[in-house]
Structure 1
Amino acid sequence: MNPILPRPARVETERRLRIAVILLISFFWLPPAAWGEEKITVEIEGVEGALLENVQAYLSLEEPPSPLTESTLRRFYRQAPEEIHQALQALGYYQPRIDSELTRAEERWVARFKIDPGPPVRVARIDLTVTGEGRGDSAFDELLAEIPLREGETFHHGEYERTKEMLQNLAAERGYFDARFMTHRAAVDLVKNEAAVEIGFDTGSRYRLGEVRFKQEEPAFDPRFLARFVPFEPGEPYHADQILALNSLLVNSAYFARVDLRPLREEAADHTVPIEVTAIARKQYALSIGLGYGTDTGPRAILGWDNHRVNEWGHRFSSELELSVLRQSLTADYQIPLRRPATDKVDLQAGIQREETETAESRLAKIGVSRSVLRGSRWIETLFLNYQSETFEVGGEVGHSRLILPGVTWTRTLADGSLNPRRGSRVSFTVRGTDEVLFSDIRLLQSEVRAKIIRPVRSSGRILLRGEFGWTSVSNFNDLPVSLRFFAGGDRSVRGYGYNTLGPENESGEVIGGRYLATGSVEYDYRIAEQWGVALFYDIGNAANDWDLNPQDSVGVGGRWYSPVGPIRVDLAYALDRPGFALRVHINMGPDL
């Protein structure tokens, strides 16, 4: 049972509770000035640039705690000369003269520091030696030529520490895991204002790459297939770039949802380090639905179905249905990876397509096989053999062709980013041909060159250069199917003109396509915000049946939205060679390369 207080006692208790509540509220809600917080301004004279920035970084008074009391302020002021001395010494000024003053002005304190940094300490001698197996490694010779410390320059403690860090980083990168400093000191002579630097670095023995052990949460792939991704042989000298290359090959293969690599240094034997790879396979099946719009195609929908691993040897199957006003197609691809699965593969392909443009109509069925391999370190070579049957109508003429078409394509893509590169290029060369002896309806030899180059302009701009060239030799041009004729005009050709509306015309003025093609474009993009940009462009080109191309050109402006799935472009183009034409809007999306 709780005791009942007499009334006077209860009144006194309630009064004390109210006072406590008021004090608590005052503590949390009254402004800091109400509890006596001090304010301070710091003024520094005599130094500028890096010296001033370092002094400010060292001074406790520059970032005092809150609330700042007078006692804390005075303590920080007393220790300020020593902090300034340390800040200047770090940059090579060992004998500064510091005058300080602390005054009160109205409602704030003012701390003034007048600094004479004195003469700098110069580096008189650098004695840097590398011993161990690294002594014969050219990478260390190159590093020694690039160290930031230089004789005759001001001694900078940060550069001294950075030199040691560069040695340690290079050793770790190249597998000198037992590397250590035998000596590392900087002797400063304050009489001569000189510093003598001595660094002795023993790399020890260089480790070698060992076996690669793959761990899978589920046995999705045969270990022998995974071993094909490894870009090095066991026993090669260790280099971190080889580990990064293996990681990149696995991640970019699209087989895995997650990849983790770990050198097992604790299990190293005879200076050989095994590598452990934990690879988690992505889901086997994927259904994708995409909606889009392009001026060339109009609204479009894409339905895709993929089997990312038909079997444990990495075979894949993909299919895609595309529906748009201009084009309807259904394609299927069965992919078989080869010795280097990241780049080498065989594709078995089949598809049907119907396309109807302003100038032609085509119904195409195709089956084929291709083999892609990496040549050198950059070029992908694709040998292909296709059979295609096409019914077409162009310029009022109806035709049908059956072709067995072998060919080869060489492609090289370089970029510093996959979606919105600041610097990059893509070049492709294609040669294809056939003859009646191959049971084709025509004799044909055709080549195409496509190139696009992107270069940065200062911090926010880019120049994009694009070119496309084509050449055809054919026994009878009228029998050449629409899919192999050259046309110009459209979102990715000469803007300002409709899709495939440029080219040779028949007697009725209808565009029928040509043997030759030459188009080019110069574009300047400027990013005005993180996800937005504007563009200016000039396009020129045409298709023709002789080398008198009669090029058509256009100019325009555009807007860019750098979306998470790639840039979306909206361009307003004007056809210079057709006065009176209305401005044409072009909308398209996709990667720049």
Structure 2
Amino acid sequence: MIRKAILIIASLIVFSQSAYADVSLKIKGLDGALEDNVTAYLSSIPEKDYSTSLRFQARLEKSITEALNALGYYHAKISYTSTKENDELIVNVDPGKPIRVKTMDVVISGEAKTDEEFINLIAKSPLKVGRVLNQGEYDSLKSGIRNLALQRGYFNGDFTLHRLEVIPELNQAIVRLHYDSGIRYHFGGLDIIGSQIWEERVASLSPFKTGQPYLVSEVGEYNQNLSNTDWFSSVFVEPDLSKLKDGRELPIKVSLAPAAKNQIETGIGYSTDMGVRGTLKWKKPWVSARGHSFNTALSLSKPEQTIIAGYKIPMDDVLREYYQVQFGLKHLDNRDTESLESNLAFGRYWLSDNGWHTVLYVRHLYENFSQGLQDDGVQFVLPGTTLSRTRTRGGNMPMWGDKQSVTIEYGDPALLSETRVLRLLGGTSWIRSLGENNRGLFRLEGGANITDELEKLPPSLRFFAGGDNSIRGYGFESISPKDASGALTGAKYMLASTLEYQYRVYGNWWGAVFYDIGDAFNKTPIWQSGAGVGVRWASPVGPVSIDFAWGLDAEPDPEFRIHFSLGPEL
């Protein structure tokens, strides 16, 4: 007896080891959506559990049946075969005839009965009479009705009947969805809490008026508008659902917390052009209850030191229209240029619906300078206008984007300017991609000073080329005509272009190759070209770029430059 028991136990161990040895699984008889859904269901079973045992086959059959039922197949036949070595289990599946929708009993009652959005939602649902039943489509239509009701202010809505009836014997399904929406609520008054800004200013940012039908998208837009002012550290806009019984108009709660009155930002960078660069920004996002703001920026490098201060006065359309007064001082000591300039500007700003920014301004420029052999001090009063737009898609290192800008300025002795000049500046940049791993960047910029007395223009109004934002491979503003001593003078015209290709190497890291060409000239350009390679990193705080560039036409020998930058490409 003992020997017989030992033999039985040994045989069970051998069978167990055989049944649970490494086994692969193969499904036959399915394709398309059926195969995909079965694969998705079976993915929840760890491969270590695969075997040829009856217990595992029962587990497989349960999962496969559930996957097929979800897509309307209730008559599946499943059989199993395995290889002699028991290393592969073959599952043969005949899905059988599908269940088809016989009846669509979808009824919307209440005020949503005539709402076009509900009518369109039901019309666009793929769940139709005669179609093979898909339980996911039923669930989607059911949740779609409920979500649409909440989005459009039917807060008392509910299903009075929701049932999916399946009759496998007849291969039929009946969909029953009865939804009573009740009334549609409207926007009520604003209940503004915690604002340090005048309530009328806060209310003016609302895209809706009291009495309009409720839309959750407009609540979200109001929330975004308030956030974009920079007046608040937190913004929360929501309907007051505790007042559902008080009438059709639903109060809107606006909970706000003031932003810090003083905000400091620092930065540091390096390039072979400018050396170490440091920045310090001080911002007061709100100065008074009117919503005025103040900001300053200090930038220091060896050749250039700049300080700018601006005061912003929003108008009734806070985000789209405002005035700004700005004052700046800049000292430049670079190559053959040394200057100290002051700018005082007053501008009127507009933002249009299509994204174009328009500025009308007048600025007073006084500049004391030494440019090559010339020493002078001049002033200009320059009225002007700028039109610009930037569009991007796809995060801080977009896969699509473009930027355009045009600026026109005019100076005249009758307007207290040193000489008559018409200044034209423009630029365009484009980013396009092919697939997920290829990006291209094209940039073209130019400028012109239409004047008969270039020598009366200060360096800040003349044109120079070269540097990390121009023709890489050349020193910062090292390209321009020269005077009799060989010193740079600045130019009447400038034209420069960039063509760059980037390839994703790994994750957020890209490699780049580029070619730059351009010149700053008075009559005929002598094109200066540069080329190089670079590395791009889409960091959490913005694109980081390192470029290794060669000035191909530099004399007497090609130049080599390294550029490092942090910030958007457009």
Same fold (TM over 0.5): yes
Equivalent-residue separation in structure 1 for 2:491 and 2:448 (angstroms): 9
Contact 1:405-1:433 at 8 Å conserved across structures: yes
Deviation of the 1:402 alpha carbon: 0.6
Contact 2:350-2:357 at 8 Å conserved across structures: yes
Give 5+ residue unaligned stretches, structure 2.
1-18
Equivalent-residue separation in structure 1 for 2:527 and 2:166 (angstroms): 73
- Corresponding position: 1:534 with 2:511: yes
The 1:508–1:159 alpha-carbon spacing in structure 2 relative to 1, beyond 3 Å, is: farther
Query: Which structure 2 residues correspond to residues 146-545 of structure 1 after superposition, within 5 A?
Result: 146-149=124-127, 154-181=132-159, 193=171, 203-216=181-194, 220-268=196-244, 269-416=246-393, 419-545=396-522
Contact 2:379-2:418 at 8 Å conserved across structures: yes
Structure 2 counterpart of 1:170, which letter?
A: L
Query: Aligned residues: percent identity?
Result: 34
Equivalent-residue separation in structure 1 for 2:43 and 2:218 (angstroms): 46
Give 5+ residue unaligned stretches, structure 1.
1-36
Equivalent-residue separation in structure 2 for 1:145 and 1:465 (angstroms): 45
Q: 543, 555, 558: which one pairs with 1:581? A: 558
CA deviations over 1:118-142 (Å, ceiling 9, x no partner): 2344557767666655565554465
Equivalent-residue separation in structure 2 for 1:538 and 1:64 (angstroms): 52
CA deviations over 1:232-288 (Å, ceiling 9, x no partner): 222223222212222222223222222222222332444323221222222212333
Q: 520, 542, 549: which one pairs with 1:566? A: 542
The 1:538–1:98 alpha-carbon spacing in structure 2 relative to 1, beyond 3 Å, is: same
Contact 1:60-1:80 at 8 Å conserved across structures: no
The 1:559–1:147 alpha-carbon spacing in structure 2 relative to 1, beyond 3 Å, is: same
Work out the number of aligned pairs and report it.
552
Equivalent in the alignment of 1:20: none
CA deviations over 1:152-208 (Å, ceiling 9, x no partner): 654322123223333333333233334445665656675775656565655554332
1:62 match: secondary structure: coil
Q: Which moved more, 1:400-409 or 1:232-241?
A: 232-241
Equivalent-residue separation in structure 1 for 2:379 and 2:218 (angstroms): 48
The 1:125–1:502 alpha-carbon spacing in structure 2 relative to 1, beyond 3 Å, is: farther
The 1:447–1:127 alpha-carbon spacing in structure 2 relative to 1, beyond 3 Å, is: farther
The 1:341–1:124 alpha-carbon spacing in structure 2 relative to 1, beyond 3 Å, is: same
Equivalent-residue separation in structure 2 for 1:292 and 1:433 (angstroms): 35
Equivalent-residue separation in structure 1 for 2:69 and 2:22 (angstroms): 26
Contact 1:176-1:204 at 8 Å conserved across structures: yes
CA deviations over 1:542-589 (Å, ceiling 9, x no partner): 22334x434333222100123333222111223344484033322222
Equivalent-residue separation in structure 1 for 2:337 and 2:168 (angstroms): 87
Q: 22, 38, 52: which one pairs with 1:55? A: 38
The 1:459–1:373 alpha-carbon spacing in structure 2 relative to 1, beyond 3 Å, is: same
Equivalent-residue separation in structure 2 for 1:86 and 1:419 (angstroms): 43
Structure 1 counterpart of 2:29, which letter?
A: G
RMSD: 3.6
- Corresponding position: 1:46 with 2:15: no
1:513 match: secondary structure: coil
Query: Which structure 2 residues correspond to residues 538-557 of structure 1 after superposition, within 5 A?
Result: 538-546=515-523, 548-557=524-533
Query: Which structure 2 residues correspond to residues 122-161 of structure 1 after superposition, within 5 A?
Result: 122=100, 133-134=111-112, 137-140=115-118, 142-144=120-122, 146-149=124-127, 154-161=132-139
The 1:194–1:358 alpha-carbon spacing in structure 2 relative to 1, beyond 3 Å, is: farther
The 1:136–1:490 alpha-carbon spacing in structure 2 relative to 1, beyond 3 Å, is: farther
Contact 2:272-2:561 at 8 Å conserved across structures: no
Equivalent in the alignment of 1:31: none
1:260 match: secondary structure: strand
